Structure 1
Amino acid sequence: MKNLLPTGVALLALSGPAWAQGPVSGTLTDAQTGTPLPGATILLDGAASAATDAAGTFTIPAVAAGAHELRITFVGYEPLVRPLQGQAEAQRLTAALQPGGVLTGEALVTASRANERTATAYTNLSKEDLAKRNFGQDLPYLLDQTPSVVVTSDAGAGVGYTDIRIRGTSTTGINMTINGVPLNDAESRGAFLVNLPDLASSVSSLQVQRGVGTSQNGGAAFGASVNISTLDNRREAYGETQNSVGSFGTVKNTVQFGTGLVSGHFTLDGRLSRIKSDGYMNRASSDLKSYYFAAGYQQANTLLKFITFSGREKTYQAWNGVPEPALTGDQTLLQNYIDNGELTEADAVRVRQEGRRYSSYTYDNQTDNYQQNHYQLHLSQGLGQDWNLGGALHLTRGFGYYESYRARRRFLNYGLDNVVIGNQTLTRTDLIDRKWLDNYFYGGTFALNYQPKADDRLQATLGGVWNRYDGDHYGEIIWAQYASNGAIRQRYYFNNAVKTDYNGYARATWQVLPQLGVYGDLQLRHIEYAIDGTEHKPDDPSAVRGVVDVRTRARYTFFNPKAGATLTLAEGQQLYASFAVGQREPVRSDFTDRIAADAVPKSERLTDLEGGYRLSLPNASVLGTRAVARLEANLFYMNYRNQLVSIGQLNDVGTPLRTNVARSYRRGVELTGFLSANDKISLSSTLTLSQNRIRGYQEPISDSTFIARNSTISYSPSAVSAHTLEGQPLKGLRLALLYKTVSRQYLDNSESLNRSIKPYQVLDFRVRYALRPQFVKEIELGLLVNNVLNREYVANGYTYSYPGASGGLDTFNWYYPQATRNFLVSVGVKL
């Protein structure tokens, strides 16, 4: 039953709270036929508060005393707006919608989203959910309180390069889409949100699915998927600005505007954003700029929308992290790093001076520079009473480079001749190089949806996508102490990669009985991947003048079936279970950075079993107080074949190196709960307990000796929890405590305490105070204090080992320290 949207939305919906609050319920029908309208969206004061169920009924548990605006929208109908006066007594409404309204933007993304019929684990976040968390940190940090999530930041404070893992799976295994268009890089499969700073300010809704989930456009979801929508239509003109300032020189400025619906057909929306930060780590600055513009046309059952958004980032390279002795102060260990050439004497001096904020780079322009421009054209067309078609064309243009200072590099390793000066032959030089990415990603998507209004027992979608990626990778020398026979912008390697990816899927839900529903989803996906050219790998034994041939040809065809069932036990209670298969291809680095020359990477296969129980009580009573309560328990068993797992090492641009393991699994339980009493106080909690194991892992004991045993998968904590306690002591004032715990994580697959990240707990504090003076719609003041308890912790790292003098393995750990206590304050104005 679609009683409420997920955690936090109902709380936001009840704006302007007072002591006297009563429920509002109602029934929604078609004005011409009188039939119920299931799945309509109910908004109170602009915030999504409920949805109609199969009988067309809805309930808003508590509406504060005072004047409110109730808005009801449904695909294919004109929206209905009516005033509502909150009161202590229960209210009952009846409403009827007139056919002929335009399709909403959300109709374009529903094809890939889960709901209560698809028997999967998911979390929905509204625009308001994201807004109250958004002080300028990257999107992963706004998702930190969702189940099974671990986030980290290279620069330490959530601005710049950040990462997210869900169920221990990094972004290479998390499918991300924006309006149904793939966001993950076609080659690396990573989703580099640093390229789209302040994207959250343009998001209208977001869904996180855990596990394989429903069929998605783009790469397979091997741990989760994040489905982002920016397609909402705001009918009234608006202007907003959000500004934040805080620790480490962090500044965020955002301006948004929209025309509303002009002449009944046209909309124009825009956003400009700038975020700057020096970073917690030394020399880890970020300079981020972005824009978002959307122009829409709508008439009857047609919606046409052109969207362009872009991000440009310049970040000082912080992906090396800090050596372990910078955290521990162990001078003996530091000397071992020096003796083995991992640090120079000059590095060691700075380690002692800078401690946990140490940066290995000193060149003033050791930066990552990248720009990504996105263009999307969306069409949503109603086809009679029960059908609608969504389609999109897209183009993503990306280009940029890493600039690095390199000391005493061999000429031959850059394809250059040695330099002869008189009787002296020079074999090395200092130089500055740039490693470039220059690519195009384009294609099209479609989804044909069958959503009958009179009888919604059967709903179906037929969809697909065709994408092509064409990218150049090359290196240039822009300066050298000794020029040799090179020229300015001397290219020392070049390769081109082309990848074609297309898939089709068919999905349906069928309500067999009033209490029993079944779900099926079939996807066929085909990938062709080719690399031609050379890569710079001077340490590779097969390298010739510093480069190796990385010619690659790969082709894959995957069939991914999914099925599930839901059983309604009683009003607000549901059992569900699902089975899904996900398969995916190796990423670029698996081909170009092989652990062994003959170790050809294999594709991965995941069989995902999920099952759980949902309880929703929109009209509960706690100690005589009206309350909203929700509870979900989800069990999962994810069984892998040939899973590509991180070995703990990185390549020269910070990409984790991986290897196939024949058999592995993740299994556990996810518990989530939410309780709100009269909108005065609420508590939301999530806890994940899991086992993440490799069967028969080959653990190295020395350079040539291995032992087989079961072992924990790297970067996979066995316990993750998040808790938010929020209260409203005064009208418009909201206070929140956010507590996060993450258990031990291992840097590689050896399950060694000496190569691990210690468990950590982090407490944050947030204040939001909204004023509504007569001269503007709203002024909101905010404060976010991160890491209130001032804990020194790390959330990520890497390791590598090689034979030592004693015959065993010498291990070198590097970590990414996170910021100690820090703050951000914000001022927002809505016109």
Structure 2
Amino acid sequence: MKPFLKLKFKKVKSLVAFLIIVFSLNANAQEFFTLSGKVTDGNNPLPGASVLIKGTSKGVTSDFDGNFKLNLKKGVYTLVVSIISQPKEVTVNLTKDTFISINMSDSFVSLDEVLVSAVRVKPSSPVTHNNISKEELEKRNLGQDIPMLLNYLPSVTSSSDAGAGIGYTYIRVRGSDASRINVTLNGIPYNDTESQGTFWVNLGDFTSSTQSMQLQRGVGTSTNGSGAFGASLNLLTDAISENAYGEISSAFGSYNTQKHTVKFSTGKINDHIEIAGRFSKIDSDGYIDRAFSDLKSYFLQGSYVDDNTLIKAITFGNKEKTYQAWYGLTAEELKEDRKQNPYTYENETDNYWQDHYQLHWNEKLNHNWSTNLGLNYTKGKGYFEQYKEGSAVSKYNNIVEATGTDWYGSPATDLIVRRWLDNDFYVLNFNANYKNEAYEVISGISASNYTGDHFGEVIWAKQFAENANIRDRYYFSDATKNEFSIYSKASFKLNENLSGLVDLQGRFVNYKTDGLTSDRNTLDIDKSYSFFNPKFGLTYKINNTNSIYTSYARANREPNRDDFKNGSDVQNEVLNDFELGWRLKNEKVVLNTNVYYMLYKNQLIQTGGLNDVGEYLRENVEDSYRFGLEVDANIVLSNKLSMRPNITISSNKIKNFILERDDTSKNIGTTNIAFSPNIIAGNYLNYQPVESLTINFLSKFVGEQYLSNTDTEASKLDSYFTSDLNLTYEIKPKSTFKSIVLSALVNNIFNKEYVDRGYTYLDYWSTPGTSFEVQGYYPQATRNFLVGATFKF
């Protein structure tokens, strides 16, 4: 080849290489495109909607105007869009910058959400809240109760008697116990009417039938049932399934824990009717010796749906048997063997049956109007069986005769009693909803009637009286509680950047009870209360990524049955709740920050002591407050890695606490409220290396807290830090099953020995008495595991 031809050929090769490089660079420059869109309900923008790229941890939240934006490579993507609901999937072929509109109103699931619309708030509302989706719950749903699954939310702590999260479990929010947390199921009040507490042991495996939850901290919006003095938690049960399905799941773990669940749905028959159900069985021996749980539950629903109507008939229930672990361990017992159970009677158990029947009818009348009717009947019945050694015969209505004396020298004997509850609960809810582009108004009523019998039987004694029979009652009292509330809530736009909320509620309560307590003391109560609970809030949109909000809410609460038993002069409580928050939402970070000031009058605080069935005693304090800062975030670190940290820093004080101890009264000044740690922090680290595998590492820190209200060093409970590891792996077979999901959960992975709850009588006695121990502790489980598999077909 001639030199000039060689040179020419080289130039051609160089030119071709250059063009290839330029083309490649140009192609790479065009590889990323902007996918933007707007999420609406058909009329109005939906701020706070989750837009997730399926199979990754990458996603965003729609801004105040419902807009979102993602930068993605060229390709086909499936967006999973949800807003407190069953997700909606949208497929996009991204070949250029693209804008899409996502209308969530065309889904029948939106009708399901109307069942809870009266008690829930929207993402842009000036109310501090968290939403929990079904997908999030499923990852750790291996048998533990709902309080344990909510443990990593801001300001939340949880505990259990048996130590492993199954059986009798408890939740606190901002230091407030479960009797001050309003709980609703599809808008129907669930709190026990007389004690105002929530007994999660009667909702075994209810997570498997839950579509979503919303936890509102503070007073929140007006809700049905008992007043929210720390938080409100509302649960929405399973939405109607478009397609038929079946699920079989089983889980096994430490302490002989087993969970077995069967679920099914017919899907929409003839596009209108669905029948679905669940049956579950959970067993666990508990971390504490013999603190077993035996839970059987069911959930059945029949639904009719069309474009404008949703009718749901739902029944669910539970039968539970749990062994006594209500009184914890003394300090000496804790040091000797933290798993021991001092009770030795083989049937020292709690036995309770509870069945719920709900009917919901939601009607969309036109473009603006809709109505919702909810009816409920709950039947509860059960007993607590207890062996009593050397108990004074004067407590048993001459049913038994003395065979000895107690430590006071009074005639006494050994016997076994059963203390019964037998109650009926009726609820009617109705609300009407009007909305247009400028505002939305929800107005409604809720009425309930509760009747309950309390009585005790002697089922065995060393010596019965001559004319006595087994199961003779030694005390009886009946109770009736009627409640009526009326409310109206308006959310509206004042201008393009400013929106408001006005929420007014009147609540009217009458409680009557007559008869004897278990100690055969007369209990004759007839009290009526009329409460007015106003709430106001503003949200200001600074820009598309930042907004601030402020709110004021007032709440009132009546005393519960135990409060009346402990003193006839007990007062109702009043709470004024002030909140100020900032929300940041962009492609990488969702940040929620708020400051709260909860000012109480006559707050019924827990003294640290227990009554005769293991429930905390309470007393009024005239002036107290909770002041705190809450921060929680969702941070996308990469397409595969994200984290959700949260922290609460608070001060929880009683002003001018009057201590009545050793038969004397003394003002000891400002003290800390019992069971109220100043620091609560958590983190949720999510890693998804491939679409089918998710690894979550969860951590929780709870600071020091006091078991009494005296700031006594002896009643201080140490801080603790625990971590859990959760793995889920999904297999999609080519036949038989649609999906097989394998799950594993290692609780307390670093094997910490800790106590998260206890009791004390130091508000009454300055030093331990000679007749009984004044301190008790509830040890929680060290490292333990649960593994499970769910077969979906």
Same fold (TM over 0.5): yes
Query: Is 2:472 aligned against 1:490?
Result: yes
- The alpha carbon displacement at 1:169 in A equals 0.3
Q: Deviations over 1:230-289 (max 9, x none)?
A: 151211111112211110111111111111111011011111111100000011000001
In the alignment, which residue of structure 1 is the partner of 2:496? 514
Q: How does 1:614-629 map to 2 (within 5 A)?
A: 614-618=583-587, 628-629=588-589
CA shift for structure 1 position 36: 6.6
Q: How does 1:342-353 map to 2 (within 5 A)?
A: 352=336
Match of 1:200, as an amino acid? Answer: T
Looking at structure 2, the residues matched to 446 and 213 of structure 1 have their Cα atoms a distance apart, in angstroms, of 20
Residue matched to 1:585: 558
Against the structure 1 CA distance between its residues 281 and 515, is the aligned structure 2 distance closer, same or farther, given a 3 Å change threshold?
same
The answer to whether the 8 Å contact 1:102/1:300 transfers is no
Q: 2:259 aligns with which of 252, 256, 259?
A: 252
* SS across alignment from 2:136: helix
Gaps of 5+ in 1: 1-19, 329-351, 538-546, 619-627
Q: 1:198 to 1:395 in 2, by over 3 A?
A: same
Which of 318, 325, 333 is matched with 2:332 structurally? 325
Q: Which amino acid aligns with 1:122?
A: H
Instruction: Please state if 1:798 is matched with 2:780.
Output: no
Report the alpha carbon displacement of residue 731 of structure 1 after superposing the two structures with TM: 3.2
Q: Which residue identity lines up with residue 319 of structure 2 in the other structure?
A: R
- CA drift of 1:37 comes to 6.2
Paired position in structure 2 for 1:394? 376
Whether 1:476 and 2:457 are equivalent positions in the alignment is yes
* CA apart distance, 1:112: 1.1
Report SS of the residue matched to 1:550: strand
Stretch moving more, 407-416 or 299-308: 407-416
> Does 2:341 match 1:359?
yes
SS at match of 2:99: strand
Deviations 1:360-383 (A, max 9, x none): 211111000001100000010011
Q: Is the 2:370–2:433 Cα contact (8 Å) retained in structure 1?
A: yes
CA distance in 2, matches of 1:639, 1:138: 31
Give the TM-score of the pair, scaled to structure 1: 0.85
Determine the C-alpha separation between the residues in 1 that align with 2:108 and 2:769. 75
Instruction: Rate the CA distance shift 1:441–1:43 in 2: closer, same or farther, 3 A.
Output: farther
CA-to-partner distance for each residue in 1:752-807, whole Å, 9 max, x for gaps?
A: 12012111000111111111121222111111111111111011110114658999
Q: Deviations over 1:118-163 (max 9, x none)?
A: 3110000111111112121000011011110010110000000000
Task: Determine whether 1:750 maps to 2:714.
Answer: no
| Counterpart position of 1:568 | 541
For 1:110, what is the secondary structure of its paired residue?
Answer: coil
CA distance in 2, matches of 1:265, 1:80: 20
Q: State the Cα distance separating 1:104 from its structure 2 match.
A: 1.6
The amino acid that maps onto 2:752 is R
**Distance in 2 separating the partners of 1:21 and 1:440:** 62
Counterpart-to-counterpart distance in 2, 1:162 and 1:758 = 20
1:190 partner SS? coil
Change in CA separation of 1:586 and 1:98 when aligned onto 2, cut-off 3 Å = closer
| Residue 413 of structure 1: how far off its partner (Å) | 1.9
Structure 1 position 372 matched with structure 2 position 332 = no
Residue 604 of structure 1 aligns with which residue? 573
Contact 1:117 1:519 in 2 (8 A): no
Give the C-alpha shift of residue 419 in structure 1: 4.4
Letter in 2 for 1:373: D
Distance in 1, Cα, partners of 2:517 & 2:104: 61
- How far apart, in 2, do the equivalents of 1:64 and 1:643 lie? 59
SS in 2 for 1:184: coil
1:784 matched to 2:768? The reply is: no
Rounded Cα–Cα distance in structure 2 between residues aligned with 1:73 and 1:741: 29
Could you tell me which of 761, 772, 776 is aligned with 2:732?
Answer: 772
Q: TM-score, normalised by structure 2?
A: 0.89
CA 1:386–1:756 in 2, change beyond 3 Å: closer, same or farther?
A: same
Quick one: structure 1 residues 175 and 100, their matched pair in 2 at CA, closer, same or farther if it must change by over 3 Å? closer
Distance 1:101 1:804 in 2: 62
Aligned residue in 1 for 2:27: none
Q: Percent identity?
A: 39
Alignment of 1:438 onto 2:397: no
> Structure 2 CA distance, aligned partners of 1:808 and 1:697?
27
Offset, 1:50 = 7.6
Partner residue in 2 for 1:162: 169
Alpha-carbon distance in structure 2 between the residues aligned to 1:270 and 1:122: 30
Q: In structure 2, what is the Cα distance between the partners aligned to 1:27 and 1:670?
A: 30
Q: Say if 1:816 and 1:615 are closer, same or farther in 2 by CA, change over 3 A.
A: same
One-letter amino acid of the counterpart of residue 376, structure 1: Q
Do 1:140 and 1:162's aligned partners in 2 also have CA atoms closer than 8 Å? yes
With over 3 angstroms needed to count, the CA separation of the structure-2 counterparts of 1:142 and 1:83, relative to structure 1, is closer
* Contact persistence 2:399–2:474 (CA under 8 A): no
Does 480-489 or 806-815 show the bigger shift? 806-815
Residues 373-772 of structure 1: pairs in structure 2 closer than 5 A: 373-416=355-398, 419=401, 427-452=411-436, 455=437, 457-485=438-466, 486-537=468-519, 547-594=520-567, 600-618=569-587, 628-700=588-660, 702-772=662-732
SS of equivalent residue, structure 1 residue 200: helix
Matched, 1:826 2:791: no
SS at match of 2:521: strand
Secondary structure of the residue aligned to 1:461 is: strand
Structure 1, 234-243 or 519-528: larger mean CA deviation: 234-243
Give the conservation status (yes or no) of the 8 Å contact 1:45–1:69.
yes
Q: What's the CA shift string for 1:162-206, capped at 9, x where partnerless?
A: 000000000110000000000000000001011011111111110
Corresponding position of 1:814: 776
Q: Is the 8 A contact 2:47 2:65 kept in 1?
A: no
2:733 aligned partner, one-letter code = P
Residues 435-459 of structure 1: per-residue CA shift (max 9 Å, x gap) = 000000002001111122xx2x211
Would the aligned equivalents of 1:560 and 1:583 in 2 still touch at CA under 8 Å? Answer: yes
**Cα separation, partners in 2 of 1:74 and 1:265, compared to 1, 3 Å:** farther
Paired amino acid for 2:636: S
Distance 1:398 1:636, change over 3 A: same
Match of 2:224 among 217, 220, 223: 217
Shift of residue 325, structure 1, vs aligned partner:
1.3
Give 1:583 shift.
0.4
What is the aligned partner in structure 1 of residue 36 from structure 2?
25
Contact 1:499 1:528 survives alignment (8 Å): yes
1:174–1:27 CA distance, 2 compared to 1 (3 A): closer
Distance in 1 of aligned mates of 2:275 and 2:710:
54
Corresponding residue to 1:232 among 239, 249, 254: 239
Deviation at 1:615, TM superposition (A): 0.1
Tell me how far apart the structure 1 counterparts of residues 221 and 765 of structure 2 sit (CA, whole Å). Answer: 46
In the TM superposition, residue 610 of structure 1 has moved relative to its aligned partner by 0.2
Could you tell me whether the CA contact under 8 Å between 1:39 and 1:74 is conserved in 2?
A: no
Closer, same or farther: CA 83–501 of 1 in aligned 2, 3 Å: closer
Q: Is the 8 A contact 2:371 2:433 kept in 1?
A: yes
Offset from partner CA, 1:309-360 (integer Å, 9 cap, x none): 00111000110100111224xxxxxxxxxxxxxxxxxxxxxxx4xx111212
From the superposition, tell whether residues 316 and 810 of structure 1 become closer, same or farther in structure 2 (CA, over 3 Å).
Answer: closer
CA–CA distance in structure 2, aligned partners of residues 512 and 96 of structure 1: 24
| Conserved 8 A contact 1:103-1:380 | no
- Alignment coverage as a number of residue pairs: 753
* CA-based RMSD: 3.0
Is the deviation greater in 752-761 or in 58-67?
58-67
Q: Which of residues 252, 269, 280 in structure 2 aligns to 1:273?
A: 280
Structure 1 residue 695, shift from structure 2 partner: 0.2
